[in-house]
């Protein structure tokens, strides 16, 4: 066993003494050491209940002949970190999480791993660590938060509160109504109820084959999630016995399956950033153009908040990810392995759609094309990402004059002042991986635009990124970013920007000579932060087009 280096031989007597201090007897020392990598903390609603799942997973491990040891890693709540300097640390935390897991696992020589996760950067950070370590591993998420009913047919979630701020600004809602909404929108534990980044990544963990069926959709408060966690504990021992490792599961085929599911359900645009980072860790070449090919061939068959009125609990009721993928089976690599021990094809063979309003048939799809689109053009030579599933039909092709803002704070102030007019294109730059730094999410500006009634009249483009709760013609990840001298840095007030999501294009009406001339006159970019972790992050991070991973 891998853990023998900590337990076997007379020279390991001191080590065994320390195991005995932990309450281990001879049996526990002889058994495989299983790391229970938990991201429990008391600042993220999606993680506040993960101790219960860890206990269930440990029960499963012990019952199957392993000795579980719980260890922890950090996590950030993107909602609480939103729209202030804390958001600069969100994406960078992904690399810290991957590194911290690698450090604790290598130092203690675990034989296999159970990952307990739930929210935004924590999920991909742990997936990156699993691939890097490549020892038998399995994931279980904390599950989605329930939506809240407000009225006969009205359900709300965290995104409803962000949009309501814009509605109060324009007089469409009173502060008293906002206060009422604020108090009920997030009713308890779990990752925020819509198809935002956390739930997208939990569903895609299942589609990748690294989580058991139900991982992405069983609600956090449902007792089935405890049962799932216990089964995960038992199943990791099977993975160890059969020596099935993450790189046996995360392959080019499973990445194809994940992106297919992603576009079919209109997942968060952040999924592109994170799946590319996981692919990079696994040494899988997956160019952005490949995502467009998948999206163009994949029907959009499930529309959840913020794109629609349904939530993750509804997707679970309708049959979950297995039912969604069963409907897409002719587009999938069905031989892909999963942590269940079965192939993807075997898992989805008996799945059924229980509600065809929530998961539509291919023949009745919302659109023939998937819900994510990569745009290219002279404004984004290396690509940009839009959640096309959440774009109004009249904004799929749009052109208008640029309104330039060099920070999120500037843009938020400009939008709230009422100076943005219909037909314009808000340009929010110097918020990329280096420029932000940390590529902060722009949920506040996009929510204000939507809440103020401009969502079908105004586009927003940025070298930053968006929350999975963003909707509208919001185009992010513009690469190269402004801080790296990308064309977005050359834009001036009034430049005409042309957006054609249908044909995957984004351009500015400028010649290449004019763009280069303007860029040559710009002062050298000066990092906003020059000390601490973010200063090191600026030096190491690569473009959003490559997943914003660290330079090797």
What pLDDT shows up at residue 469? 66
How many alpha carbons fall within 13 Å on the CB side of residue 415? 33
User: Catalytic residue positions?
Assistant: 467
What pLDDT shows up at residue 467? 78
Strands 459-462 and 474-479: parallel
Using only the alpha carbons of the chain, give its radius of gyration.
Answer: 23
Nearest to 433 by CA among 461, 465, 403: 465
- Give the phi and the psi of residue 45 in degrees, each rounded to 5: -55, -30
pTM over 0.85: yes
Separation of alpha carbons 219 and 223, rounded Å: 9
What pLDDT shows up at residue 460? 94
| All structural domains of the chain | 31-142+191-348 (no CATH), 158-187 (no CATH), 373-546 (3.50.30.80)
Separation of alpha carbons 431 and 412, rounded Å: 13
pLDDT per residue as tens, the chain (552 positions): 999 999 999 999 999 999 999 999 999 999 999 999 999 999 999 999 999 999 999 999 999 999 999 999 999 999 999 889 999 999 999 999 999 999 999 999 999 999 999 998 999 999 999 999 999 999 999 999 999 998 888 899 998 998 898 889 889 999 999 999 999 999 999 999 999 999 999 999 999 999 999 999 999 999 999 999 999 999 999 999 999 999 999 999 999 999 999 999 999 999 999 999 999 999 999 999 999 999 999 999 999 998 899 999 999 999 999 999 999 999 999 999 999 999 999 999 999 999 999 999 999 999 999 999 999 999 999 999 999 988 989 999 999 999 999 999 999 999 989 899 999 999 999 999 999 999 998 878 888 898 888 889 999 999 999 876 677 899 999 999 999 999 999 999 999 999 999 999 999 999 999 999 999 999 999 999 999 999 999 999 999 999 999 998
CA distances from 349 to 214, 338, 340, 363 (A): 15, 14, 14, 20
Separation of alpha carbons 358 and 367, rounded Å: 14
Residue with tokens 């029960």: 59
| Cβ atoms 9, 87 nearer than 8 A | no
HEC secondary structure over 291-329? HHHHHHHCCECCCECCCCCECHHHHHHCCHHHHHHHHCH
| Cβ atoms 266, 371 nearer than 8 A | yes
Nearest 5 degrees, angle CA 523-CA 525-CA 531?
145
Separation of alpha carbons 448 and 170, rounded Å: 10
What pLDDT shows up at residue 235? 98
Reply yes or no: is the peptide bond before residue 306 cis, omega within 30 of 0.
Answer: yes
Reply yes or no: is the peptide bond before residue 431 cis, omega within 30 of 0.
Answer: no
């Amino acid at each position: 066993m891998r853990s023998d280096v900590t337990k076997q031989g007379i020279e390991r007597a001191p080590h065994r003494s320390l195991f005995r201090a932990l309450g281990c007897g001879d049996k526990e020392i002889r058994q495989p050491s299983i790391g229970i990598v938990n991201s429990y903390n008391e600042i993220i609603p999606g993680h506040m209940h993960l101790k219960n799942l860890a206990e269930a997973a440990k029960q499963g491990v012990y019952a199957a002949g392993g000795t579980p040891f719980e260890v922890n890693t950090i996590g950030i709540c993107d909602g609480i970190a939103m729209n202030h300097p804390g958001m600069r640390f969100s994406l960078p935390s992904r690399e810290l999480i991957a590194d911290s897991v690698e450090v604790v696992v290598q130092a203690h020589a675990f034989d296999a791993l159970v990952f307990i996760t739930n929210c935004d950067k924590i999920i991909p950070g742990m997936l990156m660590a699993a691939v890097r370590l490549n020892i038998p591993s399995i994931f279980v998420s904390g599950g989605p938060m329930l939506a809240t009913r407000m009225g006969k047919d009205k359900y709300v979630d965290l995104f409803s509160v962000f949009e309501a701020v814009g509605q109060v600004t324009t007089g469409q809602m009173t502060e008293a109504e906002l206060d009422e909404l604020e108090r009920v929108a997030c009713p308890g534990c779990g990752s925020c109820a819509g198809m935002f980044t956390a739930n997208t990544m939990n569903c895609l963990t299942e589609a990748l084959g690294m989580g058991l069926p139900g991982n992405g959709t069983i609600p956090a408060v449902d007792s089935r999630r405890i049962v799932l966690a216990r089964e995960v504990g038992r199943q990791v021992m099977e993975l160890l016995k059969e020596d099935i490792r993450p790189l046996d599961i995360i392959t080019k085929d499973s990445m194809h399956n994940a992106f297919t599911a992603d576009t079919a359900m209109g997942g968060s645009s952040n999924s592109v950033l994170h799946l590319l980072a996981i692919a990079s860790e696994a040494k899988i070449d997956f160019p952005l153009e490949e995502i467009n090919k998948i999206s163009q061939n994949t029907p959009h068959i499930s529309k959840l908040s913020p794109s629609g009125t349904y939530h993750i609990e509804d997707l679970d009721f309708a049959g979950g990810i297995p039912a969604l993928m069963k409907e897409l089976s002719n587009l999938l690599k069905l031989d892909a392995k999963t942590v269940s021990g079965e192939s993807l094809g075997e898992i989805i063979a008996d799945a059924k759609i229980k509600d065809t309003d929530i998961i539509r048939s291919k023949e009745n799809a919302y659109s023939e094309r998937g819900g994510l689109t990569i745009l290219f053009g002279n404004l984004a030579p290396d690509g940009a990402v839009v959640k096309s599933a959440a774009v109004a039909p009249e904004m799929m092709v749009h052109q208008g004059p640029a309104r330039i803002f060099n920070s999120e704070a500037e843009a938020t102030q400009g939008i709230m002042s009422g100076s943005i007019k219909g037909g314009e294109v808000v340009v929010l730059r110097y918020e990329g991986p280096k420029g932000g730094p940390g590529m902060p999410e722009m949920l506040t500006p996009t929510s204000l635009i939507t809440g103020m009634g401009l969502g079908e009249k105004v586009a927003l483009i940025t070298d930053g990124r968006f929350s999975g709760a963003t909707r509208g013609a919001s185009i992010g990840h513009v690469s190269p970013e402004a801080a790296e001298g990308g064309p977005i840095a050359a834009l001036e007030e009034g430049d005409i920007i042309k957006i054609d999501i249908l044909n995957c294009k984004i351009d500015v009406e400028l010649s290449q000579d004019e763009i280069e001339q303007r860029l040559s006159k710009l002062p050298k970019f000066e990092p906003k932060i020059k000390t601490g972790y973010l200063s090191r992050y600026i030096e190491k991070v690569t473009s959003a087009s490559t997943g914003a991973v660290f330079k090797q």
